[in-house]
Amino acid sequence: MENSSKFGACFSASTCSDSEKSTANCWIFIICQIVFSALLFITLFIMHKSKRGDDEKIIVSTGRDRFLNSIASQVSMMKSKKSLRHSGKPVILKPLSNTDRSERNFVKNVADATILYPSKSRPEYVPYPHLNFFEHIQTKIFVTSNDEYIQSRMVSCAALAFLSSAASSSLAMLFKHERHKQDCMEGLELEYTSSTKEWFLGQKDPFAETLDSFKFLPIFLILAYIAFLVNRWRDFMITSHTIQGRIQDVGILVGSVPDNPVTKEEKKQIYKIYRFLNAVHIMCYKSFMRDEFKNDDQLISQLIEMDLLTGEEGVHLGSMGKKVREGLCSRILCEIDVLLSLTTKKYAESKSIVLNDKICDLRGTMAKLHDTFVRDNPNEYILAMQVLVYCYILLIITGYPILMFSDNNAAFSCVQPLAFFGTFFTLVSLQMPFILFERLDNPFDAHDDINAENLVASTELALFNSMRCQF
């Protein structure tokens, strides 16, 4: 009798109050759930620490002097690489770099069979409806398996679901112990025993009503923020296409400036503008491209290697620091003025005003693209939304062990799958918007979002054809 009155964990039939092996197995099952939850939390901590360490490894510029010295020291190396590339020897190049941008190739006549056109590219964005079923599944698997943010959210949901299931299993063990205790009292009425179960199960309706009443505001704020981010994502794409259109407009206008036949000096000047237009386009998206473009120390060197800048131009533009994009727009205007002074075509100078407006508009649109990143909802809005969502999550973790509890007298009544799956999928539904927030915040950063390199490559192909229309 004394042993039967104690409620606690036991791991063998002899130490359990009812001396049943199933009770010991249930307690082992509960401990396993708690251990799994602890392991998942440890995994989550390791993932967070690993990501934090990776962020600290980001290379940052240490000053303009080091920046310019780096460019100057690499110019000679770039020249040797270019000579290797032009020699016809096989070199492993990445998609955007797989283009011959030499002046010798650019000034060839359109009828020349040896001309090398810029490499073609895939679309900058492929909507899911345009993918077949297998490509859709492959994309989803790739994104999920390579996105640490999604993985960490799913791990946290599973860890909390195991805790909720363990709490529900503990309730089942408590009720089983009370039933055994009542049987041992041989007909004595124990109001405490009956009121314990009734008290817990009596909380179902109040908890359900509380959750139902509380969920409106956090869900409303989440939906409003998703709508805002989706519109913002569309603005990014529209702005990107506007930048592409402005650059192509300039290319069309510049290509129509000289008279036919185009002189050698005019061809060289058009080639120079062609290089600068592609360079400024890459500078606009450098943060969303390959690693060699992201770092300021390597960007100018990479543009020199790609024949978009000369060594002297690279050093000059590198001295402009963070405003190199604006400086290059000014250089483009200067080179357009030189081209207009070279041409003998009648009324060619009338295009000067239009070209000036196009370049200024291009600079403003590129600035708008980056300004859009800071055009977010007020911090107070985001903070209130997060606090309300986390409070709702706390209510779910506290209430679902009771709401999802299945009362039965089976030997393994401690197994409460509804508590686990109910908590897990409800938490996933609340975490999914935060995954959307992360993905929609930067439309150029994810695997299946806007591909800046493809956008630049398609623009270059259009420039190559429009600016050489009279060659």
* pLDDT above 50 for 86: no
Q: Calculate what percentage of the chain has a pLDDT beyond 70.
A: 78
Q: Cβ atoms within 10 A of the Cβ of 156, count? A: 18
Record the pTM.
Answer: 0.74
* pLDDT above 60 for 65: no
Per-residue pLDDT tens for 335-362? 999 998 888 777 767 788 899 999 999 9
Token pair recorded at residue 344: 């003998």
Q: By C-alpha distance, which of 14, 168, 96, 17 is closest to 452? A: 96
Per-residue pLDDT tens for 373-426? 888 888 899 999 999 999 999 999 988 988 888 876 665 678 888 899 999 999
**164 vs 36: CA distance, rounded Å:** 12
Name the band, by pLDDT with cuts 50, 70 and 90, for residue 132. low
Q: Say if CB 431 and CB 157 are below 8 A apart.
A: yes
User: Once rounded to an integer, what is the mean pLDDT over residues 442-454?
Assistant: 78
Residue 323: the pLDDT is 85
Per-residue pLDDT tens for 91-112? 334 557 778 888 899 988 888 8
User: Once rounded to an integer, what is the mean pLDDT over residues 274-283?
Assistant: 92
Q: Cα dist. 79→55, 125, 305, 311 in Å? A: 33, 34, 7, 9
**406 vs 413: CA distance, rounded Å:** 8
**404 vs 425: CA distance, rounded Å:** 13
**39 vs 33: CA distance, rounded Å:** 10
Residue 141: the pLDDT is 61
Q: If you write DSSP's letter for every residue of 191-254 in order, what string do you get? A: HHHHHHHHHHHTTHHHHHHHHHHHSHHHHHHHHHHHHHHHHHHHHHHHHHHHHHHHHHHHHHHH
Q: Which long-range contacts (CB under 8 A, 24 or more apart) does 215-224 make?
A: 215/392, 217/388, 218/385, 218/388, 218/389, 218/391, 218/392, 221/381, 221/384, 221/385, 221/388, 222/385, 222/389, 222/433
Token pair recorded at residue 302: 């990479």
* pLDDT above 60 for 45: yes
Residue 245: the pLDDT is 93
Q: Calculate what percentage of the chain has a pLDDT beyond 90.
A: 29
* pLDDT above 70 for 115: yes
Residue 101: the pLDDT is 87
Per-residue pLDDT tens for 218-254? 999 999 999 999 999 999 999 999 999 999 999 999 9
Surface-to-core class of residue 226, CB atoms within 10 Å of its CB (0-12 exposed, 13-18 middle, 19+ buried): middle
Residue 20: the pLDDT is 76
* pLDDT above 80 for 41: yes
End-to-end CA distance of the chain: 104
**The dihedral formed by the CA atoms of 395, 397, 401 and 404, expressed in degrees to the nearest 10:** 80
**The dihedral formed by the CA atoms of 8, 14, 18 and 22, expressed in degrees to the nearest 10:** 90
Q: Say if CB 195 and CB 70 are below 8 A apart.
A: no
The lowest-confidence range among 56-70, 112-126, 269-283 is: 56-70
Mean residue pLDDT across the chain = 80
